[in-house]
């Protein structure tokens, strides 16, 4: 085995020291409607910043009101309204020049009304000492960040795609480098597949499988990917069964594919990330 003198390493600007595993994680939790995504996310360590673009949190977030440790911006959530004159429509009559102008105005509107306050709130909450951040939903946040760079139709410019990807990654990394848990709530949708009919024409059909919506690079950036699952009780009046399917676990790969009963954040992390004693 080769050996390098630690002194030589230090003088060259290197070190062999490896820091302990951080007590934070970047997580995706995805599922269909009513499977416990938001409820599970809000069990993460507090104080917790809840950045919501969704309309489905009412009746869930109130269950955590007594903790007094879930914070939200005073002005409200990030449910952005796009002005009618900036929206694209199939039957909209406009020249290419008019379309480019409209999409530029749309990008400016979303950048100023969504991205700037969203990023500012994220930075301020991290500076104030939050332990966790929840994005509900990750899909809409990605769509708004994408729109803040280019309009809906201008998707062929690689430089703009790169800029949108960079803005999304910067927000994710902001949590990671500051040792803050980031939980990105996502939705699942039926997967479609192509096939040939008897005449040889390509057709599409919906399968029984599910796939995630949203930022396609997110699964590569997270340490843990969870899918929520709800099974109704066969006995009327009994509670349904809520479960978590581990799709990715960078710290503990043997759990991949495991179906676990839904448990609070810290209890689940004790299983998946045993190297961390306190979250």
Q: Quick one: pLDDT at residue 60? A: 65
DSSP codes joined into one string, 87-127:
S--TT----HHHHHHHHHHHHHHHIIIIIHHHHHHHHHHHH
pLDDT band with cut points at 50, 70 and 90 for residue 63: low
Q: Are 174 and 221 within 8 A, CB to CB? A: no
pLDDT band with cut points at 50, 70 and 90 for residue 238: confident
- Bond preceding residue 137 cis, omega within 30 of 0: yes
pLDDT tens-digit series, residues 146-161: 888 876 554 556 677 7
CA distance 209 to 215: 19
pLDDT tens-digit series, residues 6-36: 888 888 988 888 888 899 999 999 999 889 9
Q: Quick one: pLDDT at residue 272? A: 95
207 vs 256, more confident: 256
Q: In this model, does residue 120 exceed pLDDT 90?
A: yes
81 vs 256, more confident: 256
Q: Looking at 60-64, 158-162, 232-236, 253-257, which range is the least confident one?
A: 60-64
Q: Quick one: pLDDT at residue 250? A: 93
Q: Quick one: pLDDT at residue 191? A: 85
CATH fold for domain 25-54+67-74+94-272: Rossmann fold (3.40.50)
* Domain locations along the chain: 25-54+67-74+94-272
Q: Quick one: pLDDT at residue 58? A: 64
Exposure pattern of 232-250 as b/e (b: 16+ CB <10 Å)? Answer: eeeeeeeeeebbbbbbbbe
């Amino acid at each position: 085995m080769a050996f390098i003198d630690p002194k030589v390493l230090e003088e060259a600007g290197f070190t062999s020291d490896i820091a302990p595993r951080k007590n934070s994680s970047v997580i995706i939790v995805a599922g269909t409607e009513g499977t416990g995504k938001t409820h599970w996310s809000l069990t993460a360590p507090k104080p917790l910043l809840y950045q919501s673009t969704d309309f489905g949190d009412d009746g869930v977030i109130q269950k955590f009101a007594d903790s007094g440790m879930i914070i939200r911006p005073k002005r409200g959530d990030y449910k952005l309204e796009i002005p009618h004159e900036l929206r694209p429509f199939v039957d909209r009559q406009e020249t290419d020049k008019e379309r480019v102008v409209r999409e530029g105005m749309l990008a400016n509107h979303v950048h100023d009304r969504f991205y700037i306050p969203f990023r500012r709130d994220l930075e301020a909450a991290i500076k104030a000492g939050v332990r966790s951040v929840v994005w509900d939903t990750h899909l809409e946040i990605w769509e708004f960040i994408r729109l803040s760079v280019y309009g809906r139709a201008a998707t062929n410019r690689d430089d703009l795609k790169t800029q949108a990807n960079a803005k999304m990654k910067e927000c994710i990394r902001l949590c990671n480098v500051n040792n803050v848990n980031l939980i990105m709530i996502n939705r699942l949708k039926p997967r479609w597949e192509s096939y040939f009919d008897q005449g040889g024409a390509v057709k599409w059909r919906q399968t029984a499988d599910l796939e995630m919506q949203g930022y396609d690079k997110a699964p590569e950036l997270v340490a843990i990917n969870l899918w929520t699952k709800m099974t109704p009780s066969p006995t009327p009046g009994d509670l349904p069964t809520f479960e978590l399917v581990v799709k990715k676990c960078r710290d503990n790969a043997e759990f991949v594919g495991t179906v676990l009963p839904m448990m609070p954040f810290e209890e689940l992390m004790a299983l998946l990330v045993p190297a961390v004693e306190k979250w």
